[in-house]
Structure 1
Amino acid sequence: MPPMQPLPQPATLPFSGHLQRWSGDPIALLHEGAEKSQKTGKVFALKLGLPAVVGFSPEWNKRLLTDLGTFRSAGSFSAVVPYLAGGVILTDAGHGERRGAVNPPFGKRSMESLRGRIRAALRQEKPAGTFDALAWADRAVLRMLNAAYFSSDLDAGLLHAFLAPLRSAFPVPAIPRPLLFVRMNRTLDTLARKRLTGGGDDLLFHLARWPGGVREARISLAAGHDTTTHTLAWAVWHLAEHPEWFRADGLKAVIRETLRLYPPGWMGSRRLSRPLDWQGQTVPKGALVLYSPYLSARDPDLWDAPGVFRPERWDASPPAWAYLPFGGGERLCLGLHLANLMLEEALTYLLEVASELQALHGDPAPRPGVTLGPAGPLVVRAG
């Protein structure tokens, strides 16, 4: 097998390659790699203990997200996080069949049936006066998820404890927590049995009716919390800094622009099941291949002033395969419609309880973890 030909790469450190930089400041590492590869195919190499290649062009994104036979989920970064291991997220064989079974409860029509319950839960977290948008978003999303999945029947303390490790930097989310998982699984099994015997209309009721559905509920719950929390916090911060967009007809554009600047899934990964020939380069079987919604959404070749918050850019359609906050292809995020529903409801609620928002102080810089989140806090005043 021919070896992988040299690709541009960021500066390495002795002995550790890129591992130390990846664990310390991966965003800076990505920006450096993107700059070095901007004119050579927008693909660069990383030394992460095994051959690794990062691409961020639309062509790369489309190939990686649609060629499921070559780009496999098993063995990717997500597999090292117990919260995400297993279930439809990492399934390769039979993915389409399993996804088809899980999709209906998360569709637009099903989401509309949950809107009233989500709205009522949200109103238990009224922001007033001066508040940290990040802390408020965390509480609000926990309440909305509890309402959508479990009709607010899940113990709030358990839900908070279960999801809390995902908010920390690596390696915290990858540390096994068998006792916590046993407690959570037993509680979900109990709630699922009640749904199967007594009926219901929440997400757990629909998922519990097929094999593996309760596990899918747990995994999708974990995948949906921080992603929505961080997007909501950033959206509130930007609305406080750009009051001209704090209006009902501006919220959808604000959400889309926030997701462009700060896609929660800032980096996606796959493993190659066979050698890949790409633009004259050969990437060996087993290599780690990555795509970056963060880099694609900030590519100056595709976006005007990509680092600037401009919701008005959404008057036009985005470049194809360059806007991927929820992934793409057959592996489009299962919780896409639920996330948008919660974000729209939360920002609409702010419009109801506040005539204006003012940004006071905070640190909105992106901090990568399992998801991309603001360093925080993000302190705003509701007037």
Structure 2
Amino acid sequence: MPQPPTRPGNGHLQDWALSPLPLIEDGARRARAAGTDLFRLRLGIPSVVGFSPAWNKRLLSDLDTFRSAGGFSAVVPYLAGGVILTDAPMHRRRRQTINPGFGKQHLETLRGRTQAALSSIPDGEFDALAWADGAVLRLLNAAYFGGSFDPQLLHSFLAPLRQPFPVPALPRPLLFLRVDAELRRLATQRLTAGGDDLLAVLAPIPGGLEEARVSLAAAHDTTTHALAYALWHLARHPQWQAPEHHPAILKETLRLYPPGWMGSRRLKCELNWNGVTLPRGTLALYAPYLSARDPGLWDAPDQFLPERWTRKPPAWAYLPFGGGERLCLGMHLAQMLILDVLAELPPLQAVGGDDTPVPGITLGPRGPLVIRRTGKSA
């Protein structure tokens, strides 16, 4: 099986930790040259990365063979729980229980509250990444808790996720205890007095507070980074600054910079993939970042071209929210929040910055992304 060059003594671990994007891009090039869609990484356990639509579809659809327990999420306390780590056959039932809170109908109920929490664009120059961080924190507080969660505690809880590894994987028992106590306090209010925010929907469900905490952690940086990149691209391409263009702007942003740049599963049983036998327990990875930049699937894949979205994307090649039964729970919420922010923007102009994608728990810009407003709000 093709693989990138290894380093003596640690295989690919050093490159995986310090420069994973060049590592997987090199692996994909070698796999394509060998006529395959799979390459090996030496990470201490048997590991493979696939990037073709066929691989993506199989991995995301065959929930009996590809298991979430044992993937990367299990080693990050923020994500190690709830529906994220629930496998078949219980996964579908769990999703059906919590889906209503994140469905389009309920999100419309939340929309007035989240729109009231929209942050104004500052005068003068500002960093779109830092601004998006604070704006999304307010929006999620409004959606989940009606704005009633202690903002400082919420910021402290989510801040480690923005740091490089191993910071997000370190245990923080005291911080989690404080967050869980605040969740219980607010949930008791919802259970006694009612409410229509996301916590009010999740609180009566067994394990619902864990679902609230895990999905909140999964939502913040993904939404922040997508919003920051969208602001940056609109500032660089002001001809696209109109509400009718914003869905294409968001799709193209998520194609180039999918926050969930890499996903992982573990093989429950041996799998034969195009003549290659993968043993039980193999760490099976899929890479939305690679699939969305595959020159065999996309024209000018590294260019920002919102006009490409007048056509449907290649099936199973555009996966910013995953796919299949495990499609991201917060997909509709994130899209609603970002598009509502974009609809209220004044004209923007890019000043300068570093939009190099930096992978961590999510994929985000190195930053800063300095922009300025050039007119009044819409």
CA contact (8 A) 2:121 2:373 kept: no
Partner of residue 357 from structure 1, selected from 345, 348, 351: 348
* Alignment correspondent of 1:17: 11
TM-score normalised by L of structure 2: 0.98
Structure 2: distance between partners of 1:126 and 1:112:
24
* Alignment correspondent of 2:75: 80
Structure 1: distance between partners of 2:205 and 2:102:
15
TM-score normalised by L of structure 1: 0.96
3-state SS, counterpart of residue 134 of structure 2? helix
Matched residue type, 1:118? T
Matched residue type, 1:114? L
Question: Residue 126 of structure 1: CA displacement?
Answer: 3.3
* Alignment correspondent of 1:256: 251
Structure 1: distance between partners of 2:17 and 2:94:
34
For 1:193-212, list aligned pairs within 5 A: 193-212=188-207
Question: Residue 246 of structure 1: CA displacement?
Answer: 1.0
Deviations 1:51-88 (A, max 9, x none): 10000000000000000000000110110000000100
Matched residue type, 1:151? G
* Alignment correspondent of 1:175: 170
Structure 2: distance between partners of 1:210 and 1:58:
36
Deviations 1:82-104 (A, max 9, x none): 00001000111411111100101
Partner of residue 109 from structure 2, selected from 107, 113, 125: 113
3-state SS, counterpart of residue 38 of structure 1? helix
For 1:31-110, list aligned pairs within 5 A: 31-39=25-33, 40-93=35-88, 94-110=90-106
Matched residue type, 1:368? P
3-state SS, counterpart of residue 117 of structure 2? helix
Matched residue type, 1:328? G
CA contact (8 A) 2:161 2:168 kept: yes
Partner of residue 225 from structure 1, selected from 215, 220, 223: 220
* Structure 2 residue 359 is the aligned partner of structure 1 residue 378: no
3-state SS, counterpart of residue 88 of structure 1? helix
Deviations 1:159-178 (A, max 9, x none): 00000000001000000000
Structure 2: distance between partners of 1:109 and 1:305:
37
Structure 1: distance between partners of 2:344 and 2:126:
15
Matched residue type, 1:363? D
Structure 2: distance between partners of 1:111 and 1:227:
18
Structure 2: distance between partners of 1:188 and 1:115:
22
* Alignment correspondent of 1:148: 143
Deviations 1:269-303 (A, max 9, x none): 00000001000000000010000000000000000
Question: Residue 38 of structure 1: CA displacement?
Answer: 1.2
Structure 2: distance between partners of 1:187 and 1:114:
21
CA contact (8 A) 2:40 2:49 kept: yes
Structure 1: distance between partners of 2:13 and 2:122:
41
Deviations 1:178-224 (A, max 9, x none): 00000000000010000000000000000001100111000000000
CA contact (8 A) 2:354 2:365 kept: yes
3-state SS, counterpart of residue 47 of structure 2? strand
Matched residue type, 1:270? R
Matched residue type, 2:30? K
* Alignment correspondent of 1:334: 329
Question: Residue 357 of structure 1: CA displacement?
Answer: 1.1
Matched residue type, 1:358? Q
* Alignment correspondent of 2:23: 29
* Structure 2 residue 282 is the aligned partner of structure 1 residue 293: no
Unaligned runs of 5+ in 2: none
* Alignment correspondent of 2:358: 367
Percent sequence identity is 64
Structure 2: distance between partners of 1:228 and 1:129:
24
* Alignment correspondent of 1:4: none
* Alignment correspondent of 2:264: 269
Matched residue type, 1:378? L
- RMSD value over aligned CA atoms? 0.7
* Alignment correspondent of 2:341: 346
Question: Residue 378 of structure 1: CA displacement?
Answer: 0.2
- The count of residues paired between Structure 1 and Structure 2 equals 372
3-state SS, counterpart of residue 103 of structure 1? helix
Matched residue type, 1:109? Q
Matched residue type, 2:352? H
Consecutive aligned runs of 4 or more in structure 1 exceeding 6 Å deviation: none
Deviations 1:308-360 (A, max 9, x none): 0000000000000000000000000000000000110111111xxx2x21111
